[in-house]
Structure 1
Amino acid sequence: MSMVKGVDVASYQSTTYSTTGLDFVIVKATQSTNYINPKMTAQADRARRAGLVVGYYHFLVKGRPKEQAAYFVTHAGERAGDILACDWETNTDGTYATNAEKDTFIKEVKRLRPQCRVVLYCNRSFWTTRDTTSYAGDGLWIADPNRSAGSPNVEHPWTFHQYSISGGIDRNVGNFPNRAALKKWADGAADAPPSRPAPSTPSTGGATVALTAQQVHDAVWKLDQIAAPDTSPTRDTNPNWQAQSWLKDTGNTVRALRVELGAVKAQAQANGKALSAALERIDALTATVAHLAAGRGSEGQS
């Protein structure tokens, strides 16, 4: 499958990076609410002069996600069709934004910049161990340097894959057949193609066709934008809750209930043992009282 190629750059990269063979460039714009990449404009202009699709990313830190979103859109490029990204990873001080803060930031950027695609960047560890909602805005930009370009080890459909660092610059591929298709998506005129297209299904003459787990997952993913189930925990705040996200939350709830049930059972067993010991003590005391009463009765007869 053909894919477009791109890089992402920040202040520690040159403003004269090579654009040869590239289709897109994503430039670091801001971080927190007090940092702007001093090379941002020059780095973005170099990509525009080469006719590439341009994007900007914000390094999200812990706390005040809406304020960070406003800061980002205030300083990032103003052009419709520019891709905006939330960079969700560990800060140099060891802290990181919560899953809820990540979701809030992306939704606020989408509200402030409805003319732009907004995606989530994170590494595979964050996606598989810290994400709890499967929410990535308009697409997932996954960092997985342990896999070849275009084959990140995630089940969720991906839009961009950061797969290596070469020449001091992060290398990426996009899940689009050509630059025109990427630009059409960035302009909001088309959906991104599925990251793992299902093979055509041959005629079976009515026989049962076995589906792989990946095909089932992809089919569920295509239900995006359906009405949320009545039991969806975020129905009030996200009426377009994705089906697999709801299932993921349901699974998390079941696991939490099992843990709680185990604790209740353990407490019940402890209470049962305490009750048995108390009953045995009562029986012993009752026997002692009966013995003493019998002794006093014998004294009265003598």
Structure 2
Amino acid sequence: MRAVLALAFIAITTFGLPAPAQNAFGDSDPVDFPRPAPQDFPIHGIDAARFQDHIDWRRAKRAGTRFAFVKATEGGDLLDAEFATHLNGALRAGVPVGAYHFYYFCTPPRVQARWFIRHVPKRRGMLPPVLDMEWNHHSPTCQHRPNGAQVRKSAKIFLRILENHYGQRPIVYTTPGFDRDTGLTRLRGYDFWLRSTAETPAQTFPGQGWRFWQYTGTGLVPGITGHVDINVFNGSRADWRRWLSQNLN
């Protein structure tokens, strides 16, 4: 036993990693990430939308879900059909939860911000709101692709309106291809939630800091039927408690 503990201590101190995760999550298409890999981070959570039409939040929490982001709105006229159910279920189970907005490039940012505010309440236990900016290759109504300067300008307008309303600095989510095209991560002063499902963020977004890492879209979590996105928080359990104390509503 002493040898095992010593090896564990050496591994953690040598690689500078937090204590590993303890959860019952799985993945139907796992990736062999180099370290630090998802399992090296102790705080895991999910993001969900209408595709996850039933979640047993208490069971998901017991399995290791420590936070969740749920889709609220898209553009200036779409409300996710499961938003209220997901939000209320997570809050009742005691899972810190945030709402995200999927940006639509054919509607002005102020219109989209007002639509989000109309549907997302201020409630205790909520994480900061999230702006999800990525290309939507499947949109039948909007194929507009503004340049990077315009994207960043629109993002700043949207983010400023949300911060003024909720009193929380929003989080920004993006993907590797979108960031390469637009330079969205040049925005300063925001926590980034990065999608990187084939490589680590250090490989996909070299030199970019991040707060949350979406590492799979084929996750398996007790209490959730089918696949779900799984994410990690960048830090130790103590870091997580500290971040929550500063950012939770």
TM-score of the superposed pair, with normalisation by structure 2: 0.67
What is the deviation of 1:5?
Answer: 0.6
Task: Indicate conservation of the 8 Å contact 1:120/1:136, yes or no.
Answer: no
Separation in 1, partners of 2:203, 2:120: 28
Contact 1:11 1:38 in 2 (8 A): yes
Q: Which residue of 2 aligns with 1:35?
A: 78
State the identity as a percent: 23
1:52 — aligned with what? 95
CA distance in 1, matches of 2:117, 2:203: 29
Mapped contact 2:202–2:208 kept (Cα < 8 A): no
Equivalent position of 2:129 in the other structure:
84
Is residue 142–residue 152 contact of structure 1 (8 Å, CA) maintained in 2?
no
Q: CA deviation at 1:141?
A: 0.6
With normalisation by structure 1, the TM-score equals: 0.56
For CA contacts below 8 A with separation 6 or more, give which structure has more relative contact order: 2
Check the 8 A contact 1:7/1:171 in 2, yes or no: yes
- How many residue pairs end up in the alignment? 186
User: 2:50 aligns to what?
Assistant: 11
Alignment RMSD, CA only? 2.2
Give the match for residue 187 of structure 2. 135
Counterpart-to-counterpart distance in 1, 2:178 and 2:216: 18
Q: Which residue identity is paired with 2:117?
A: V
- 1:186 pairs with 2:186: no
SS at match of 1:74: helix
1:121-200 pair list within 5 angstroms: 121-131=173-183, 134-135=186-187, 138-148=190-200, 151=202, 153-154=204-205, 155-165=207-217, 166-167=219-220, 168-178=227-237, 179-187=240-248
Paired residues for 1:1-302 under 5 Å: 1-2=17-18, 3=41, 4-17=43-56, 18-19=60-61, 20-62=63-105, 63-79=107-123, 81-91=126-136, 92-93=138-139, 94-96=143-145, 98-114=151-167, 116-131=168-183, 134-135=186-187, 138-148=190-200, 151=202, 153-154=204-205, 155-165=207-217, 166-167=219-220, 168-178=227-237, 179-187=240-248
Q: Structure 2 unaligned runs (5+)?
A: 1-16, 19-40, 221-226
Greater C-alpha Rg: 1
Specify the SS of the correspondent of 2:129: strand
What secondary structure is seen at the aligned counterpart in 1 of 2:209? coil
| Runs (5+) with no aligned partner, structure 1 | 189-302
Q: Distance in 1 between matches of 2:169 and 2:243?
A: 11
Amino acid of the structure 2 residue aligned with 1:175: N
